[in-house]
Structure 1
Amino acid sequence: MSTLPDKIDQIIKERKLLFQQNKTEEVNPYVAQSEALLIDTVISLALGKNILLKGPTGSGKTKLSESLASHFGQPVHSVNCSVDLDAEAMLGFKTIIEVDGKSRIDFVEGPVIKAMKNGHLLYIDEINMAKPETLPILNGVLDYRRQITNPFTGEVVKAKATFSVIAAVNEGYAGTAPLNEALKNRFVTFDIPYISGDVLLSVLKQESILKDEKLIQLFVSLSSDLTALVESGRLPEEASSIRALVDACDLAVYIPPLRAVERAIAGKLDDDREKAAVMNAAETWFA
């Protein structure tokens, strides 16, 4: 990564010192098609902004969030959104515990409360999968107030200064709903495209157990063809998922590449014509 501004670099160093007692898991760094994406997301988090990552499934949004957390040395608490997401899943729930032989009600903190109290990062995956009426509870968490009144305990929780939110969306998928303007206005937004060419080659070398560089290059070429088919509307976006491509590379260590593509990429599609299109593209490179 290019040299960051001195003030931002100092913030990163201070956070790493602050959280060094929390052993954050080391992850391979996210490799972006444009280095500006990495620089801008790091600066945004260092300044205490919430960031929204927009991109197709498998484009690396979760990987980028993990890389950012590792960069700052901060633990991450995750919320996985669905139509069933409710306040308890985000904030926590009451339960009965035994203390000295007596029963009492205790509150088990959820990921939002934990992240706020500890100044950790909060990752909200597929935020546009949640019901629109569920998310307003986070408005005060995401804006300048950085606080919430816990409806289950009445406690006013004020986030520590290092707390920030990373959210991810897959736009246009079944079950998703557009984010309202009030919610979007609380984020700095980044588009996460699929990577290609030498950048993809580097990622496959880093993430896959496949070490045959010539074979990896063929998978990069296949990815280019699949992306073109996606862009022309002949395949759904998941057909050019980087995650699925890594799976195919891993399988190709032990089984023929065509079978690896069939299992890891084509097999995830429901339409027989789409499966055939993937395999036809694969046969161009692996026949």
Structure 2
Amino acid sequence: MDVDSGRETPLARRGSPRFIADRPHLVDDAEAALRLGKHVLLRGPTGSGKTRLAEALAERLGLEMESVNCSVDLDLEALLGYRTLGIAEGRTVVEYVEGPVVRAMRLGRMLYIDELNVARPEVLPILHGALDHRRRLTNPLTAEVVQAHPNFCVIAAINEGYAGTSPLNEALLNRFVVFDVPYVQGEALAQLIREATALAGAHHVERFVRLSADLVRASEVGELPVEAASIRALLDACDLSTQMPPLRAVRYAVAGKLSDPREQDLVMELASSYFGGA
């Protein structure tokens, strides 16, 4: 087995890798928009680092983050909170537990809304008042008007063109400034691999960078689905390759996530051109 490591195994590492972009101005520009009181929409394919970028921006701004992961089951309670039974002075009472939106507004935190365009459109208008110049919303669960803390800001992320997504309505989209987050490539990707995975050997890092470029090109021309080019999946393959042959690592981490056998074969054919003898 050709194992290329030289570092601690993934089990020994903690935390998520920092955001690295091959367009250095992306982080600075998004930070500038937030400091100007704008809300930010990150648009890019799955695995391109949108969540890590949001975390990096929260760190730069010194803000705690509240998160909402959207799905077709997202409802007002998931956003605003819910009522539950509690005990006060020996009596059963109805208590209100704040949701992430209300908590972020009240405490001046960053609200990160992942996969915004997966949520049902009828749920999202409750956010309109919080996202425009009013910076407030009326909580239908309590009838309270929640006024946002001056530090409150929102970052939302979307993956366009995926199953289960729908276009954002214009009223909601206009409340954001939009930043595209493409897959990191080239030397920036090599740096990310070195920092975020256990892979240390320069020759294998270079091969994975070139394989990523091939996967991105194949996805751009429709030969592969976009998820085949996921940087998250590539990093998984890099980690696995320190414990097994790289081709097996690519099969498990990249090709195995695809449902079409022809697409799986194409991924492995591309990988074989770099790791055929590994």
For normalisation by structure 1, the TM-score amounts to: 0.90
CA shift in 2, pair 1:191/1:262, >3 Å: same
Write the mapping of 1:195-214 to structure 2, written as runs, cut at 5 A. Answer: 195-214=184-203
The residue number in structure 2 matching 1:216 is 205
Is contact 1:27–1:70 with CA below 8 Å preserved after alignment?
no
For the pair 1:119 / 2:108, whether they are aligned, the reply is yes
Gapped regions of structure 2 (runs ≥ 5): 1-13
Write the mapping of 1:254-273 to structure 2, written as runs, cut at 5 A. Answer: 254-273=243-262
> What amino acid does structure 1 have at the position aligned with 2:27?
L
The residue number in structure 2 matching 1:81 is 70
Deviations 1:79-109 (A, max 9, x none): 1111111100000000000123211010000
The residue number in structure 1 matching 2:8 is none
Write the mapping of 1:62-77 to structure 2, written as runs, cut at 5 A. Answer: 62-77=51-66
> What amino acid does structure 2 have at the position aligned with 1:276?
D
Write the mapping of 1:101-116 to structure 2, written as runs, cut at 5 A. Answer: 101-116=90-105
1:201 Cα deviation from its structure 2 partner: 0.5
Q: How far apart, CA to CA, are the structure 2 residues paired with 1:209 and 1:103?
A: 53
The residue number in structure 1 matching 2:237 is 248
The residue number in structure 2 matching 1:140 is 129
Aligned residue-pair number: 263
1:128 Cα deviation from its structure 2 partner: 0.4
Secondary structure of the residue aligned to 1:215 is helix
Q: How far apart, CA to CA, are the structure 2 residues paired with 1:76 and 1:92?
A: 16
Write the mapping of 1:37-186 to structure 2, written as runs, cut at 5 A. Answer: 37-186=26-175
**Regions of 4+ moved over 2 Å:** 25-29
For normalisation by structure 2, the TM-score amounts to: 0.92
The residue number in structure 2 matching 1:284 is 273
CA shift in 2, pair 1:26/1:239, >3 Å: closer
Q: How far apart, CA to CA, are the structure 2 residues paired with 1:246 and 1:46?
A: 32
1:26 Cα deviation from its structure 2 partner: 7.8
Secondary structure of the residue aligned to 1:137 is helix
Q: How far apart, CA to CA, are the structure 1 residues paired with 2:73 and 2:128?
A: 19
Q: How far apart, CA to CA, are the structure 1 residues paired with 2:264 and 2:237?
A: 15
For the pair 1:187 / 2:184, whether they are aligned, the reply is no
Q: How far apart, CA to CA, are the structure 1 residues paired with 2:83 and 2:129?
A: 22
CA shift in 2, pair 1:274/1:27, >3 Å: closer
